[in-house]
Amino acid sequence: MFGLFAVNLLAQNTNQDSYKQRWGELIAKQAAFYTEHIGLTGDEARKFWPVYYELQRKKDAIHKKNFAQFQNAKKDKNGCRIFNYTKVTDDMINMKVQEVALDKAYHEKFKRILSPEKLFKYYNTERDWAGQLLRDIERRGGK
C-alpha cells in the first residue's frame, strides 16, 4: 500500500516538475521573443521585465477572481452549474474595465522605459506572441 502511494506521489511530483520545466521554458522563449522583436537593450530589459511581470500578476489576480465564481457556482440536480447571468456578465465587463485600467496605468510606466517606437513594437509583439502560441498549439495537435 505504501509503495503504491509512493509511486503515485512520485508520478505527481514528476508531472509537477515537468510542468514547471515546460513553464520555465515557455517564459524563457517569451522573453527571447519579446526582447528580439522589441529590440530591447540590456538596460531596457532590466527595467522592462519587472514591470511587465508585475502587470501580468495583477491581471492574473483579476482573472483568478473571475474564474473562481465559475468554479464555485452551485450545481443543479444534473450537475450543471447555476449562474446568475446578470452578475456573471456584469463581472465579465468589470474584469475588462479593470484590465484596461491596468493597461493604461502600465502604459505610463512603460513610456518611462521604452521609446515610443519600442512601446509600439511591444504592443505588436504581444499580439504576435499570442499568435505564435496558437500556432505552436496547433502544431502539437492541441496539447
For the stretch 76-125, pLDDT in tens is: 788 787 878 888 889 899 999 999 999 999 999 999 999 999 999 999 99
Neighbours of 113 (CB within 10 A): 20
Residue 75: strand pairing partners: 81
More confident residue, 138 or 52: 52
Of residues 67 and 103, the one with the higher pLDDT is 103
Q: From the CB of residue 48, how many other CB atoms can be counted at a distance below 10 Å? A: 22
Q: Residue 142: its pLDDT value, please?
A: 62
In the three-class reduction of DSSP (H, G, I as helix; E, B as strand; rest coil), residue 62 is classed as: helix
* Mean pLDDT over each residue of the chain, to the nearest integer: 86
Give the separation between CA 88 and CA 83, rounded to whole angstroms: 7
Query: 81 pairs with which residues across the strands?
Result: 75
d(CA 19, CA 25): 10
Q: What are phi and psi of 140, to 5 degrees?
A: -85, 5
